[in-house]
Chains A and B, each alone.
Chain A
Amino acid sequence: MQALLSYDQSPPIAAPFRFFLTAPVFGILAGLLVMHAGPNAFMSRWTPEALALTHLITVGFMLQVMLGALIQILPVVAGANIVRPSLIAGVVHCAITVGALLLAAAFLTFAPWMFVGSSLLLFSGGAVFLGASGWAMRGVPATGPTISGLKTAISGLAVTVALGVAMAFGMSGWFDLPLMQLADIHLGWGLLVWGIGLLAAVAYVVVPMFQITPAYPEWFVRRFVPSLLVVASAWTIAVFGGWDVPLLVAALALIGMFGLFAGVTLFLQRRSKRASFDTNQHCWRGAMLSLLSGGGVWLAARSVPEIGEWPGLPILCGVLVMYGGFVSVITGMLYKIVPFLTWLHLQNFGQGVLMAPNMKKIIAERTMHRQMLSHFFAGILLVLAVFWPETMAMPAGAAVVVSQAWLAMNLCSAVRVFRRHSRLIAEKRANT
């Protein structure tokens, strides 16, 4: 029944795709920077190269995909339609893409105008997105955990962006700020409330749906995302106060939230009704194990002073959480979202003239699986580079470039299917 597939609430395919296709470009840039910076990228989290790398991944890769996915799922999951989605997506995409590039360049050069320029762009992009999504969700009651989770995550994004912009202005010399403390708070809100909050809100829907698992337990769904706000607030107060014991408790709670989410998700995956895991499930499993490892390393550092004093520790945790955790899970999600949207729009466009291709053949499973292996291989090399930066930085960076370029090629293959099939539909229509 082709005529029934009128998903008029779904935004045009270009709206989310522009974000999805840009993300691997930032992944490639991150790999190139690792190759160029060599050991400097792994010396400390405060080196210009490490700061630039962190933001190429968090803003360039993670934020791109997260915003693109939100523009797509707000209407579908929450019934919240963003007004003029193409225009909003275009403006937000342009602002955060140029803003992320400028921010990375600002860290590498410490040019004040770059910090100001990147702040203005990222603030504008964030404000337009927050305004549009807030307006779309204004009448949507927070009835389910996904909707309230999305609202909480978006509030976490607002805090993260506000802190980031303030720090960028501080670094450009406009005013004095306690930058080290603000950076820790910025990191906490960005990774915990925005990152894990969004991931959890989306996971409540997509993990059972795509991985054929039982639903997340009721106690977890009700309390997890609201608890993130409590933990992030406690973390903020403890960092500002500089009190040792509350800081340790807040940090333990923060790590515990990462571990809890990863542990519950892995538990659900074990109860999947699938005969064998697909690439999406492998990506999720790898990501959750990496998040657990990151938390484990941090706990070990707190328990063994010799490990705690090692300057590579924050870098190792960052690699495990950001690259091994978030980039892996986002890769897995892209491999579900992109074929699904391609199929959906072709099905709509076809209107009975031509059936959409089988969703599973839009990007071949084998190709996705091989790219995923290259991604995990790159992750292992990055971990090794933390221990042996002199010898491993170059191969690790090269491996990241290869795996991200491969991801870009796989996503572009879906776009080619979309264009080819759209042409066929147009030709068929012209002939009838």
Chain B
Amino acid sequence: MTVDETQADKIVDGRFLEPPEPFLLTMEALDTIRPGETVLLRLCREPLPLYRALQLNGYAWETSCLDDGTFEILIRHRAE
């Protein structure tokens, strides 16, 4: 199921970027959001290491996989 772009306050499209750019851009985006806001990350692969980093640092996320293989990860502060 595609995440509605309007739900996201920031969008990071990492599909055509080489590591570690998507990771760094996601971190930068998370730095700027306030509680209640979200970051949407799009990638061509499931970012397992990112999940651990998010878990350790107080974020919650929802992952969905589109038919074309794109992974969409919607991230927000955990305490919401």
How many A residues touch B, CB cutoff 8 Å? 25
One of B19, B27, B56, B69 near A209 (C-beta < 8 A): B19
A210 interface residue (CB < 8 Å to B): yes
Do the beta carbons of B53 and A7 come within 8 Å of each other? yes
User: Which residues of A1-25 are within 8 A (CB) of B?
Assistant: 1, 3-10
Distance (Å) between the CB of A4 and the closest chain B CB? Answer: 5
Known: A4-B53, A4-B57, A6-B57. A212 touches B48 (CB 8 A): no
Bound Cα distance A8, B57 (Å):
12
Are A8 and B56 touching (Cβ within 8 A)? yes
Known: A77-B48, A208-B44. A5 touches B27 (CB 8 A): yes
Q: Are A1 and B28 in contact (CB under 8 A)?
A: yes
Kindly identify, within residues 1 to 51 of chain B, every residue whose CB is under 8 Å from any CB belonging to chain A. 16-20, 27-28, 30-31, 44-46, 48-49
**Once bound together, how far apart are the Cα atoms of A6 and B44, in whole Å?**
22
Q: A1-B28, A210-B19, A215-B69 are in contact. Are A6 and B45 (CB under 8 A)?
A: no
Counting chain B residues whose Cβ lies within 8 A of the other chain, the interface size class is 20 to 34
A340 CB within 8 Å of chain B = yes
Q: How far is it, in angstroms, between the C-alpha of A5 and the C-alpha of B56 when the chains are bound?
A: 9
A287 at interface by CB-CB < 8 Å: no
The smallest beta-carbon distance between A150 and chain B, in angstroms, is: 13
Contact between chains at B45 and A205 (CB < 8 Å): yes
Taking CB atoms, residues of chain B closer than 8 Å to A8 are 52, 56
Q: Give chain B nearest CB distance to A381 CB in angstroms.
A: 33
Q: List 25 A-B contacts (CB under 8 A).
A: A1-B28, A1-B31, A1-B57, A3-B57, A4-B27, A5-B53, A6-B52, A6-B57, A7-B49, A7-B53, A8-B56, A10-B49, A76-B49, A77-B48, A209-B18, A209-B19, A210-B18, A210-B19, A212-B16, A215-B44, A215-B69, A340-B19, A340-B20, A343-B20, A344-B20
Contact A212–B18 (Cβ < 8 Å): yes
Which residues of chain A are near B28, meaning CB under 8 Å?
1
Check: A36 CB closer than 8 A to any chain B CB.
Answer: no
Q: Residue of B at shortest CB range from A356?
A: B20
A143's closest neighbor in chain B, by CB?
A: B46
Q: A-B pairs with the 4 shortest C-beta distances?
A: A1-B27, A6-B56, A4-B57, A1-B31
Residue A359 interfacial (CB < 8 Å) = yes
Give the contacts of A185-209 with B (CB-CB under 8 A): 205, 208-209
CB nearest to A77 among chain B residues: B48
> Which of the listed residues B20, B49, B69 has the most CB atoms from chain A within 10 Å of its own CB?
B49
Instruction: Evaluate contact between A76 and B18: CB separation under 8 angstroms.
Output: no
Contact residues in B for A7 (Cβ distance below 8 Å)? 49, 52-53
Measured CA separation A79–B31 after assembly (Å): 26
Whether the Cβ atoms of A1 and B30 lie closer than 8 Å is yes
**In the bound complex, what is the Cα–Cα distance between A344 and B20 (angstroms)?**
9
Question: Are A209 and B44 interface neighbours, CB within 8 A?
Answer: yes
The answer to whether B45 touches A79, judged by C-beta atoms less than 8 angstroms apart, is no
Residue of A with least CB distance to B23: A5
In the complex, chain A residues whose CB is within 8 Å of the CB of B46: 144
A-chain residues with CB within 8 Å of residue B19 when the two chains form the complex? 209-210, 340
A273 interfacial contact with B, CB 8 Å: yes
Q: Can you name the residue of chain B whose Cβ is closest to the Cβ of A360? A: B18
A4 to B52, CA, bound (A): 9
- Per the 8 Å Cβ criterion, residues 228-274 of A in contact with B are 273
